[in-house]
Amino acid sequence: MSDRELRVSKIRNGTVVDHITAGQALNVLAILDITTESGETVSVGIRVPSDRLGSKDIVKVEGRELSQDEVDVLSLIAPAATINIVRDFDVVEKHRVERPTEVVGVLSCPNRHCITTEDEPVESRFDVLDDGIRCTYCDTIVRDNIAEQIDVA
């Protein structure tokens, strides 16, 4: 890809989340709990041309590596995403996301009577189904708009 098409600067240390489903970049930021207040240096590309996907989103976060829980949820909204770990400008690790069997934390249960929505010392947990996710505690199934369940603190 030439410099004319994509002007997003390289990062020194951090994570590049590439091949994000077009239109999902802001949800990826939400999963990573990144806001304008949170202080990271972040570059975001939305609907940039991609050989593999036609168009894609891309997120580069300086000084941050992702937790497994964050990657698990990310895989649900951006199943083709690749995670590149960058150290001193070099990609030292690169892998595709894998659909997990369950996701812990990050999402919140949409059932307002679910115990996980109360002030209890418990993280949300969802089993991953073929076509959605299901709360391990209250059994509520979410099929559409999983991104709406991202827990924004």
Partner 1 sequence: MSHDHIISAKQLSRADIEEVLDRAAEVAEDPESFADRHENTLLGLLFFEPSTRTKMSFTAAVKRLGGDVVDMGTVESSSVKKGESLADTVRVVEGYADALVLRHPSEGSAQMASEFVDVPLINAGDGAGQHPTQTLLDLYTIRESAGFDDLTIGIMGDLKYGRTVHSLAHALTTVDADQHFVSPKSLQLPRSVRYDLHEEGATIREHTELEPVLPELDVLYVTRIQAERFPDESEYREVAGEYQIDTETLEAARDDLTVMHPLPRVDEIAHDIDETDHAHYFQQAHNGVPVRMALLDLMLGGDE
DSSP string, 22-81: TT-HHHHHHHTT--TTS---EEEEEEEEETTTEEEEEEEEET----HHHHHHHHHH-TT-
Kindly state the tokens that stand for 145. 């708009």
Residue 45 burial (CB count, 10 A): 20
Residue selected from 37, 88, 119, 144 as contacting partner 1 according to rule CB under 8 A: 119
Query: Based on CB atoms, which residue is closest to partner 1, 3 or 118?
Result: 118
Report d(CA 127, CA 111) in Å as an integer.
Answer: 15
- List the one residue from 3, 37, 51, 120 that touches partner 1 (CB under 8 A): 120
- Contact between 140 and partner 1 by CB under 8 A: the answer reads yes
Size of the site for partner 1 (CB under 8 A): 18
Smallest separation (angstroms) from partner 1 to the CB of 115: 4
What x/- string results for residues 79 through 118 when contact with partner 1 is judged by CB under 8 A?
--------------------------------x-xxxx-x
